[in-house]
Amino acid sequence: MSTAAKPGPDAAAHRRTGVVLLPGHDEHDTGDHPENSARIDAVVDSLVSGPDWDSFEVLEARSAEVADIARVHTRAHIDLIHDYSVSGPNWVDGDTLVSPGTFGVTMRASGAAMAAVDAVTGADRPAGRQRPDSLFCLIRPPGHHATADRAMGFCMFNHAAVAARYAQEELGVERVAILDWDVHHGNGTQDIFESDPSVLFVSLHQWPLYPGSGWLDETGAGEGRGLTVNLPMPPGSGNFEYLDAFDRVVGPVLEEFGPGLLIVSAGQDGHIADPLSSQALTVAGFDALALRSALLAHRLGIGLVAVHEGGYNIETLPALDHAVLAGFSGIPTGRFDRLSGPRGSTADRGDPVGWEPRIDQVLKAQKPFWGRVLEG
């Protein structure tokens, strides 16, 4: 069982958070595809009309340059997305649709993540102007399935990876940690950084599920050995299982790594009502994941950038994204759903098959690299 101290309801109070908006994202026109413009529109409309909007810092995306994308993607891949977009609509693969506006939108989506990095590190503001502690990039299309040379899973460019390399090469951040809680494994992010000792990748994802990667034995390669940490969550996992995994593995490993920046691939498709998964997370669960992440960044004295990944139930996504922002800042969400327990608690247990054996497997796989900080 988890022995980590649980944050109380006001543990992240007075932390500054906000959003980076992506005007014109509907130019990436996917029609009635599950990844469509209504997702982000619903979130933004809900936030703007809600009680917390005036407390958020609000930025707008800028466009990344080709050189920014080329830090993590091949020029051939960038050219392919450009050419498919210009001649679109085209299917890059069986899941991934591009339209004439896609190239520009996905360049701005990566630029939004870069703008967030500038803000949380203070690189975009004069001395004396307060920086936000965290920012949530409300962007589409998602990015974490995009490998260096392949678009897949609705993703063209890997925004988290672009932001990480930008922070390192332009702002001098030596070590970056990427936490991915999207229900699907971030195979693209893993692929890009698996041999890189300066980037830690930690993923909580349903397994088995698309894209089929992210098993326990995928722990990195070469100089990056031990810096890929996969937690394949059994179907039916809920708040208890995810927060148990965070407290016993994710938090200790991230803190031990000591990054200069934390990037979260924030996909809310592990919610119990999402059509593309079989997990049982609730609004309270996402609030608690965000709260734990914010407290960890606070302890390390670093900024936190979240980039929007999945989440495909338009009826529930606004409340889930609001909960993420609430967790980052400490504001009350006011939107806990029927399975929610006290804020920050692990009380809501899902119905997974074999959680205790699975967490034991995770601990065994990671102990050769992180044994000093892992319990059990």
The string of pLDDT tens digits covering residues 141-195 is 999 999 999 999 999 999 999 999 999 999 999 999 999 999 999 999 999 999 9
pLDDT average, residue stretch 200-226: 98
Closest by CA position to 231, among listed 180, 295, 155, 305: 180
CA torsion through residues 233, 238, 244, 249, sign: positive
Which tops the pLDDT comparison, 343 or 298?
A: 298
Q: Which member of 145, 159, 184, 308 is catalytic?
A: 145
Q: Answer whether residue 347 shows pLDDT above 60.
A: no
Whole-angstrom Cα distance, residue 72 to residue 79? Answer: 14
Q: Model-level pTM? A: 0.93
145 is catalytic: yes
CA 236/CA 183 separation, integer angstroms? 11
Q: What is the pLDDT of residue 343?
A: 40
Average pLDDT over residues 37-41: 98
The CATH classification number of 18-370 equals 3.40.800.20
d(CA 320, CA 317): 5
CA–CA separation, 219 and 226 (whole Å): 5
Residue 109 has pLDDT above 80, yes or no: yes
Q: Do 224 and 204 contact (CB within 8 A), yes or no?
A: no
Percent helix / strand / coil, the chain, rounded to 5: 40, 15, 45
